[in-house]
Amino acid sequence: MTERVSLQLSDELEAPPETVWAALTDAATARAALPDGDNPAANEATPAADGGNPAVSLFEADESGVEERTLDPGDALTVALSLAPGTGTDVNVDAPFETAVRVEEARYPTLVVNGKGETADESASFDALAGVELSETDAGTEVTWAAEAEIEGALAAAGPTAVTPVIAHVAIRFFDDLERLLREAEHAGGDGESG
């Protein structure tokens, strides 16, 4: 059985759009912000030289260093993505999804990615297209995120009404963690501005 899910949300981050863009399009920083349930370290690719926050080394890099780390259309990465819902939902999928993420479009201020994920036991899967649009606000950056996904297995059995809030929670956690990484980078001496 296959079901379709669509959702859109927005969040405001206290950082300039260019800084948010640099973090979103940096594989290491974006990976570090992804929720991975019991193993946050599994999503840390190319960590900072000191093993810490990858956003710090991103903002300390010169322009060519930033360009080397920037995701471009066609680039792909694999992440373990947790959709563990916690309590209060009918979604019963605690296993992480091995997820292949491919950048479809990366043209400031728009980022579009395709993500395909499946649990190790193949009991649940998804195929999603998600887009992020950034716009400047007085307080920093408004991030508008929209996604459409086909869900199968245990996710489809739970239904779109149960799955949609879980996906929204994952997206909100991602942007909260991204903002936390940016704040930590700023306090660690990174100037919060790339290149």
pLDDT in tens, 72-89: 899 988 888 877 655 445
How much is the pLDDT for 185? 85
Burial 130-144 (b: 16+ CB within 10 A, else e): bbbebeeeeebbbbe
The one-letter amino acid code at 38 reads D
How much is the pLDDT for 153? 92
Asked if 126 and 116 touch (Cβ cutoff 8 Å), the reply is yes
How much is the pLDDT for 70? 83
pLDDT under 50: residue ranges of the chain: 37-50, 87-88, 190-195
Burial of 93 (0-12, 13-18, 19+ CB in 10 A): buried
Asked if 190 and 56 touch (Cβ cutoff 8 Å), the reply is yes
What is the rounded CA–CA span in Å between residue 182 and residue 177? 9
3 state SS of 131: strand
Asked if 53 and 185 touch (Cβ cutoff 8 Å), the reply is yes
Burial 155-188 (b: 16+ CB within 10 A, else e): bbbbebeebbebbbbbbeebbebbbebbbebbeb
How much is the pLDDT for 28? 85
Residue 193 structure tokens? 């501005």
Query: What's the angle, vertex CA 93, arms to CA 91 and CA 94, rounded to 5?
Result: 125
The one-letter amino acid code at 129 reads L
What is the rounded CA–CA span in Å between residue 2 and residue 62? 46
How much is the pLDDT for 81? 81
How much is the pLDDT for 64? 61
Strands (E), the chain: 2-13, 76-81, 97-107, 110-119, 124-136, 141-153
